[in-house]
């Protein structure tokens, strides 16, 4: 049954209170909101962007670059698994834009978004402890029952991609845990709670000296796509649209490339 207007507002208020901690870019908010932002085509605004967990590091850098180019604008990111972000959108979370790690998640809330655009792609790798002590060399090795493997949960994009490539090669993996985000998978391997896990290349690259990455041949791999879109519930529609459009700009694309993400 569709929520009444009052019910939707109540859900939005509850969601706002329960949102995962937000990572804000820039200073403490004391700077002046000058008209300089308008000179670049985007009005100054305070934006909240819901973004896939695998974008955590690169979006902090991208957000800082955007704020520098748009004085008066502040961007706050809420990072989580795409399935959690979708749930927040459906509950009316107060946000301005959404970036997921797969097109299916974005399509599931198309009634609540503008037209999405893919801003980057990614590929899976096998993450192991530094030095790869268990000598994991290929996907088939993940089927070893003696190996503690952790995967993202089936509803998480990384989990869907993982199952897709494992099923394609008929590899049976019984994970010791299924995590709510790809960053949680990485953390399990970093902490030694798992011997191996499937994560994105960029996640493995974010933990130098802590994990090793075993490449998966393209023919056996899956390509993750990251669509970005404005949210219709945004109170800063023009500024949100400007930020989403900027993600496809040469400046933003360079930041994504430098972080290991691939071209859209």
DSSP percent split of the chain into helix, strand, coil, nearest 5: 40, 25, 40
Residues 110 and 236 in one domain: yes
Range of the domain at 101: 5-121+226-258
Condensed to tens digits (0 to 9), the pLDDT of residues 17-47 reads: 444 444 444 434 333 333 333 334 667 889 9
Mean pLDDT of 161-187: 96
181 and 115 in a single domain? The answer is: no
* Domain annotation covers residue 20: yes
Q: Are residues 169 and 232 in the same domain?
A: no
Whose tokens are 């957000």? That residue is: 63
66 within some domain: yes
Question: Which pLDDT score, from 0 to 100, does residue 35 have?
Answer: 33
Tokens at 167, concatenated: 């099923």
The confidence score (pLDDT) of residue 43 equals: 76
Question: Is the domain of 26 the same as that of 106?
Answer: yes
* Number of domains composing the chain: 2
Regarding whether 139 and 101 lie in a shared domain, the answer is no
Answer whether residue 175 is part of any domain: yes
Q: Exposed, middle or buried, 245 (CB in 10 Å: 0-12/13-18/19+)?
A: middle
Query: Cα–Cα distance between 263 and 121 in angstroms, integer?
Result: 6
**Residues 25, 153 within the same domain:** no
Pairing of strands 196-200, 149-152: parallel
Q: What's the token pair of residue 86?
A: 């979708």
Residue 263 in any domain: the answer is no
Query: Is residue 97 in a domain?
Result: yes
Q: Please indicate, yes or no, whether residues 116 and 246 belong to a single structural domain of this protein.
A: yes
In a domain, 192, yes or no: yes
Flag whether 264 is in a domain: no
263 contacts 136 by C-beta, under 8 angstroms = no
**Model confidence over 111-137: pLDDT tens digits?**
999 999 999 999 999 999 999 999 999
Asked whether residue 140 falls in the same domain as residue 164, the answer is yes
In a domain, 57, yes or no: yes
At 44 the pLDDT is 83
Find the CATH number of the domain harbouring 206: 3.40.190.10
Residues 41 and 83 in one domain: yes
pLDDT bin (cut points 50, 70, 90) of residue 14 is very low
Regarding pTM above 0.85, the answer is no
Whether residues 13 and 110 share a domain: the answer is yes
Together in a domain, 167 and 110: no
Q: Are residues 246 and 116 in the same domain?
A: yes
């Amino acid at each position: 049954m569709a929520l009444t207007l009052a019910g939707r507002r109540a859900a939005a208020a509850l969601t706002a209170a329960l949102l995962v901690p937000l990572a804000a870019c820039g200073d403490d908010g004391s700077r002046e909101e000058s008209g300089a932002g308008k000179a670049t085509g985007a009005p100054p605004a305070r934006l909240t962007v819901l973004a896939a967990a695998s974008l955590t590091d690169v979006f902090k850098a991208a957000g800082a670059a955007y704020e520098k180019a748009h004085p008066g604008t502040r961007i706050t990111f809420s990072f989580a698994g795409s399935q959690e972000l979708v749930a927040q959108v459906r509950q009316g979370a107060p946000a301005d834009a959404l970036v997921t790690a797969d097109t299916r998640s974005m399509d599931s809330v198309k009634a609540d978004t503008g037209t999405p655009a893919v801003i980057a792609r990614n590929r899976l790798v096998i993450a192991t402890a530094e030095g790869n002590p268990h000598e994991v060399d290929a996907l088939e090795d993940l089927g070893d029952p003696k190996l503690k493997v952790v995967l993202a949960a089936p509803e998480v994009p990384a989990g869907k991609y993982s199952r897709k490539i494992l099923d394609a090669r008929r590899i049976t993996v019984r994970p010791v845990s299924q995590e709510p985000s790809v960053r949680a998978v990485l953390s399990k391997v970093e902490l030694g709670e798992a011997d191996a896990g499937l994560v994105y290349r960029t996640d493995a690259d974010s933990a130098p000296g802590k994990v090793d990455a075993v490449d998966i041949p393209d023919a056996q791999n899956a390509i993750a796509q990251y669509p970005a879109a404005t949210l219709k519930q945004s109170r800063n529609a023009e500024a949100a649209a400007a930020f989403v459009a900027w993600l496809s700009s040469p400046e933003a694309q360079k930041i994504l490339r430098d972080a290991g993400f691939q071209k859209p």
